[in-house]
Structure 1
Amino acid sequence: MVIHIETAVHQVIRVLYPWLRIQEHKWVDLISTLGKYKPKLHHHIVKWELPMTGSLKCNTDGATKGNPGPSFYGFCIRDHKGDLCYAQAGVLGQTNNVQAEARAILEALRYWVTTVDAEKVLETDSLTMINFIKGVWRVPWEISEIVEEIKTMIFKQGVKIQHIFREGNQLADFLANHAAEIDRKVEYQSFKELPSTGRKIINTDKQQIPTLRIRTRKINHHQA
Structure 2
Amino acid sequence: MSFAAFRALDIVVKWVKPVYPFVKLNSDGSVGSNTAGMGGIIRNFKGDVIIAYASPLNHCKVIYAEMKGLAYWLEVCVRIGVTNFVIEVDALSLIQLLNNNIMCHPDFFYIMRKINTLMAGFNFNLIHIFREGSACADFLAKKGSLLDDVEEFSGSNIPQQLCGLVRLDKLGLLYIRSI
Could you state the TM-score of these two structures normalised by the residue count of structure 2? 0.90
**1:193 is aligned with what amino acid?**
N
State the distance in 2 between where 1:43 and 1:70 align: 30
Show the 5 A alignment for 1:96-115: 96-115=61-80
Moved over 4 A (4+): none
**1:46 is aligned with what amino acid?**
V
Q: Is the 8 A contact 2:27 2:137 kept in 1?
A: yes
Show the 5 A alignment for 1:15-164: 37-38=1-2, 40-41=5-6, 42-66=9-33, 69-135=34-100, 138-164=103-129
What secondary structure does 2:140 align onto? helix
Q: Which residue of 2 aligns with 1:205?
A: 169
State the distance in 2 between where 1:136 and 1:113 align: 22
State the distance in 2 between where 1:173 and 1:117 align: 22
Alignment partner of 2:148 out of 183, 205, 210: 183
State the distance in 2 between where 1:195 and 1:111 align: 19
Shift of 1:116: 2.5
Shift of 1:155: 2.2
State the distance in 1 between where 2:123 and 2:38 align: 23
Q: Which residue of 1 aligns with 2:157?
A: 193
Identical aligned residues as a percent: 26
What secondary structure does 1:212 align onto? strand
Q: Is the 8 A contact 1:54 1:118 kept in 2?
A: no
Q: Which residue of 2 aligns with 1:9?
A: none
Q: Is the 8 A contact 1:82 1:202 kept in 2?
A: yes
State the distance in 2 between where 1:158 and 1:83 align: 21
RMSD: 1.7
Question: Structure 1: which 5+ runs fail to align?
Answer: 1-36, 216-224
Q: Is the 8 A contact 1:73 1:101 kept in 2?
A: yes
Could you state the TM-score of these two structures normalised by the residue count of structure 1? 0.73
Q: Which residue of 1 aligns with 2:137?
A: 172
What secondary structure does 1:93 align onto? coil
State the distance in 2 between where 1:150 and 1:159 align: 13
State the distance in 1 between where 2:20 and 2:123 align: 17
- Between the two structures, name the one with larger relative contact order (CA 8 Å, sep ≥ 6): 2
